[in-house]
Amino acid sequence: MTAPAIRHYLQFSDFTADEYAYLFERAAFIKARFKAYEKHQPLTDRTLALIFEKASTRTRVSFEAGMYQLGGSVVHLTTGDSQLGRSEPIDDSAKVISRMVDLVMIRTFEQAKIEAFAAASRVPVINGLTNEFHPCQILADLFTFIEHRGSIKGKTVAWVGDGNNMANTWLQAAEILDFTVHVSTPSGYEVDQDVAGIRSADSYKVFKDPMDACRGADLVTTDVWTSMGYEAENEARRKAFADWCVDEEMMRVAQPDALFMHCLPAHRGEEVQAEVIDGPQSVVWDEAENRLHAQKALMEFLLLGRIA
Ligand code: CP
Ligand code: NVA
């Protein structure tokens, strides 16, 4: 018998629109069971390795709690407490770890590192954030949008801030799920279509002024001015990003029912005003919770495929 091909989730474009439709439905099903205190344990005896080379709260808790809730267990590794921090070659680490567990999630720096790990892995690998992408976050963000507003097809998402891993992943999602991203970044921090890995510029528009990006948007979203790994640029970024703070004025020019999202952690008074993130249009707590449900659907899909 031939084993089914391994699927990895290294960037948003690894799945099709049809697979996302399945995942969003499945996440809703899994969430409903969780809320009703019903057991859902399709991954009994499966083990997930969580590898963190950068800090995390949401990603760690959602994957760790999620895997236990699915009936499996978790091994947690960081650069500091494993041979990963002592220069063991990445493919040697991948060969060893993937002989002992069923699934691996990695949060690291360069995308090339997770690609190298996946190439040598016997088991599916999930991107828990790299410098270039954060697909699990956008999976949860889209699930949250759908819960609140229905399909995102044809809608407009305003991205205000850094042309970073989150922005790149939104661009990939727009291309696959057929919506538009209005991007406004300070100059020098633009998105790069090649890094974002998208085929064309059809699904996004660039705006100099963040107010123009927000005009008519169905969802306004932002992220920290300085992502992990870029701390040395902190001072320069504080100056460059001063006008890229999502405030009530920006929310006023968006659609009256526009949502606000932020992947968190947030800095009130920097990339977002407290009145916005703590205001009535913000769905950041649902967004954070939905990491749990969306990733449970993802792990189930990677290990068991579609459940009829
Ligand atoms: N949004 C997100 O990935 O949060 P953590 O860095 O806390 O995992
Ligand atoms: N862009 C941020 C997201 C944190 C969840 C970072 O990479 O640090």
Determine if ligand 2 sits within 6 Å of the CB of residue 224: yes
Q: Is residue 25 a contact partner of residue 95, using CB atoms and an 8 Å limit?
A: no
Residues 143 and 222 reside in one and the same domain? yes
Nearest CA to ligand 2 atom 2: 227
Index of the ligand 2 atom closest to the CA of residue 229: 8
Strand partners of residue 204:
181
Q: Are residues 152 and 103 in the same domain?
A: no
Identify whether 120 is part of a domain: yes
Per-residue confidence (pLDDT) for residue 85, from 0 to 100: 87
Q: Is residue 6 domain-resident?
A: no
160 Cα–ligand 2 center, Å: 14
Same domain, 295 and 208: no
What would the two tokens of residue 19 be?
Answer: 């697979």
Q: Is residue 275 part of a domain?
A: yes
If asked whether residues 59 and 80 sit together in one domain, one would say yes
Q: How far apart are CA 197 and CA 115, in angstroms?
A: 14
Residues labelled as active-site residues? 107, 134, 137, 223, 263, 291
The pTM assigned to this predicted structure is 0.98
Total Cβ atoms within 10 A of residue 201: 11
Residues (pLDDT < 50) of the chain are none
Give the number of other CB atoms < 10 A from CB of residue 219: 28
Residues 297 and 277 in one domain: no
Give, using CA atoms, the residue closest to atom 8 of ligand 2: 227
**What does R_g of the chain's alpha carbons equal in angstroms?**
19
Answer whether 263 contacts ligand 2 (Cβ < 6 A). Answer: yes
Give the C-alpha separation, 185 to 167, whole Å. 10
Distance 108 CA to ligand 2 centre (A): 11
189 & 228 share domain: yes
Instruction: Report whether residue 58 contacts ligand 1, using a CB cutoff of 6 Å.
Output: yes
Regarding whether 250 and 211 lie in a shared domain, the answer is yes
Nearest CA to ligand 1 atom 4: 58
Helices (H), 150-204: 165-177, 193-196
From the CA of 263, how far away is ligand 1's center (Å)?
A: 7
CATH code: domain of residue 204: 3.40.50.1370
Longest dimension (CA), the chain: 61
Let me know whether 237 and 279 are in one domain: yes
Domain count, the chain: 2
| Structural domain includes residue 99 | yes
Candidates 224, 272, 287: which one to mutate for ligand 2, based on the most atoms within 8 Å of Cβ? 224
Structural domain contains residue 252: yes
Residues 48 and 127 in one domain: yes
For ligand 2, is residue 266 a contact (CB within 6 Å)?
Answer: no
Q: Which amino acid is at 147?
A: E
Q: Which domain holds residue 128?
A: 12-134+288-304
Closest residue by Cα to atom 7, ligand 1, is: 57
